[in-house]
Amino acid sequence: MLRPWKTILTIDLGHELSVYRQIADGIIAEIRKGRLKPGTPLPGSRVLAEDIGVNRKTVVLAYEALIAEGWLETADKKGTFVSGELPRRKKPEQKQESNFSFNSFEAIATMRPSASSGLITFSDGLPDVRLAPLDELAKAYKRIFQQKARWRMMGYGHEKGDERLRAALSTMLLHKRGMSVRKEDICVTRGSQMALYLSAQTLIRKGDIVAVECPGYQPAWEIFTHAGAKLISIQVDDKGMVIDDLEKHCRLKRIKAVYVTPHHQFPTTVSMKAERRLKLIELSNRYGFAIIEDDYDHEYHFDTRSLLPLASDEQAVNVIYISSLSKLVAPAVRVGYVTGPPAFIDSLAKLRAGIDRQGDTIMEQAIAELMEEGAVSRHARRALNVYRERRELMDEYLQTYLGREVEYEKPEGGLAYWVRFHHPVCTGDLSRKLLKKGVSILPTERFSFDGVPLNALRLGYGSLTPAELETGIRAIAAAL
């Protein structure tokens, strides 16, 4: 049995008090301070004797005295313990509180609804972790540890992430997303949220203006605000961000950055159309603002092929591109990445090194191996087929149970529907009502930058089985 107590008894051999009594009094003092609580195991007499440099018989005498006095008790073949009959001491009242100043931060709003066991949870668009290639990942992880030169990985790695993974990402970006990016210009992070935070801290100075989508992604707004930015909102319609409105702002004030989710806009799921993409890039070059492109679920697109990122355009010299493998492999696998102009990425990596010296090198190498072997691509194809079927079922259930209450467009990609109500609905109230029925949704009032009710829901379907989808939609219809 472990004896967690760290002995700090001081013995004075010249003291008039006997040594065994000094030991006993010292243990009593530790009990009274609360360091030794009722039931705490004490070291064996031989261990304690060696620790404080006395004869073992002296410690035995001390223990026997304390047992007789009721401070300690013994259990057959288990050892000596602080008596369980002693009352637990209350923590002493703090006499003085800290008196230095510090920055007070509010928690960044999460985009996750309640996800307690047994709930049918409509997320913001999470994948089904039951489809994750966990066996392949575990085998790759084991192989990394079994290689002969594994000791080389036990030291510090590069602050931009494992070189093997950055090389695999560079190859993937070239072949799948039309982006010619050197591995030196990629920084691996613990998820896309960290990539966004590092980008904001590297890019923004107090008072800089950042344009964001409305409706949009609230955690990003808060990250920019924490970095010192002033936000302006640009409306989103069925073609994506309204770039003409952005241009009007550019003529009046200096914009430092524009944050967009052009592939599958969050939360509306619409894809930004080609003419707006080209105009956004042109405005960026003309007015000198950065485009922060958050491509959070690129792989899940159901049309003939995914749209290429803004960052793939040869004229897009000011794009900071953020994406993630977490939604492709599993949300718990925290691997995101960011790429952009070389000098910007070098600066971002130095900031990252001061916050988090490096990522999980072993995990990064394991994922790199899966990418090199094609396991990640095979998983993406299998998962896409499953999600395509669920998207069709979601459409069927929405038509069947909510057809008269809502309107929506079947999303071109992503793992969520944007469902608009024909009449005003407070989704916060609806969320509370549904929780009592075992269904969890995400209130969407937080997606509105200006507080105007959206009267809509973002319903993630990817993580739910067909039966769960039908039950959940029926519950929403009944609650309405």
Q: Does the pLDDT at position 306 exceed 80? A: no
Give SS3 for 401: helix
Q: Pick the more confident residue, 70 or 91.
A: 70
Residue 175, C-beta contacts closer than 8 angstroms, at least 6 positions apart? none
pLDDT at 96: 64
| Residue 103 pLDDT level (bands cut at 50, 70, 90) | low
Q: Give the residue, 463 or 305, on which the prediction is more confident.
A: 463
Q: What is the pLDDT of residue 248?
A: 96
- pLDDT at position 12, please? 78
pLDDT, position 95: 58
CB half-sphere exposure, 102, CA atoms < 13 A: 5
Tokens standing for 427?
């989704």
Q: d(Cα 219, Cα 461) in Å, to the nearest integer? A: 21
Identity of residue 129: V
**Structure tokens that stand for 30 in this block:** 């530790």
Q: Which residue has the higher pLDDT, 76 or 181?
A: 181
Distance from the Cα of residue 51 to its chain's centroid: 45
114 pLDDT more than 70: no
- The CA distances from residue 428 to 119, 232, 431, in Å, are 17, 25, 5
pLDDT digits 0-9 by tens, 273-305: 999 999 999 999 999 999 999 998 888 888 766
Q: What domains appear along the chain, each with residue ranges and CATH number?
A: 1-93 (1.10.10.10), 120-128+378-479 (3.90.1150.10), 133-373 (3.40.640.10)
pLDDT band at 130 (very low <50, low <70, confident <90, very high): confident
Phi and psi based region of residue 106 (left: phi greater than 0; alpha: psi -120 to 50; beta: remaining):
beta
Mean pLDDT calculated for residue range 234-246:
95
Average confidence (pLDDT) over 452-463: 91
Cis peptide before 127, with omega less than 30 degrees from 0?
no
* pLDDT greater than 70 at residue 151: no
Classified as helix, coil or strand, 313 is coil
Cis peptide before 267 (omega within 30 of 0): yes
**Does 88 have pLDDT greater than 80?**
no
Closest CA to 196 of 294, 298, 319, 343: 294
Mapped onto helix, strand or coil, the DSSP state of residue 84 is coil
Residue with tokens 């679920």: 297
Peptide bond connecting 215 to the previous residue in cis, omega within 30 degrees of 0: yes
> At residue 105, does pLDDT exceed 70?
no
Structural contact between residues 1 and 47, judged by C-beta atoms closer than 8 angstroms: no
Round to whole Å and give the CA distance between 29 and 340: 61
Rg (C-alpha) for the chain, rounded Å, is: 30
Judge whether residue 92 has pLDDT over 80: no
pLDDT (mean) for 387-405: 93
Q: Are 417 and 409 in contact (CB under 8 A)?
A: no
Given this model, what pLDDT does residue 281 score? Answer: 95
- Identify which of 1, 61, 5 has the alpha carbon closest to the alpha carbon of residue 37: 5
Note the maximum CA span of the chain. 93
Q: What is the pLDDT of residue 205?
A: 95
CA–CA gap between residue 9 and residue 52 (Å, rounded): 7
Q: What is the pLDDT of residue 337?
A: 93
Read off the pLDDT of residues 349-374 as tens digits, 9 standing for 90 and up: 999 888 877 667 777 777 888 888 88
CA angle, 130 then 136 then 138, to 5°: 90
**Quick one: pLDDT at residue 1?**
47
Q: What is the pLDDT of residue 4?
A: 58
The confidence score (pLDDT) of residue 171 equals 92
pLDDT of residue 5 exceeding 70, the answer is no
| Whether pLDDT at 325 is above 90 | no
Q: What percent of the chain has pLDDT over 90?
A: 47
Q: What is the mean pLDDT of the chain?
A: 85
* Greater pLDDT, 262 or 363: 262
187: left (phi over 0), alpha (psi -120 to 50) or beta: beta
Phi-psi region of 455 (alpha: psi -120 to 50; beta: other; left: phi over 0): left
DSSP secondary structure, 175-191, as one string: HHH-----GGGEEEESS
Q: What is the pTM of this model?
A: 0.76
The HSE-up count of residue 400 (CA atoms within 13 Å, CB side) is 13
Q: What is the pLDDT of residues 158-211, one digit of tens each?
A: 788 888 899 999 999 998 889 999 999 999 998 889 999 999 999 999 999 999
For 428-433, what is the mean pLDDT?
92
Taking alpha carbons only, the member of 395, 337, 4 closest to residue 185 is 337
DSSP-derived pairing of the beta strands 416-421 and 406-407: antiparallel
The answer to whether the beta carbons of residues 435 and 479 sit under 8 Å apart is: no
Query: In which band, very low, low, confident or very high, does the pLDDT at 451 lie, cut at 50, 70 and 90?
Result: confident
Residue 287 DSSP one-character state: H
- Dihedral of the alpha carbons of 57, 62, 67, 69, in degrees to the nearest 10: 140
Residue indicated by tokens 């966004």: 196
CB-CB contact of 446 with 218 (8 Å): yes
The band of 143, judged by pLDDT with boundaries at 50, 70 and 90, is confident
Closest CA to 339 of 158, 192, 162, 175: 192
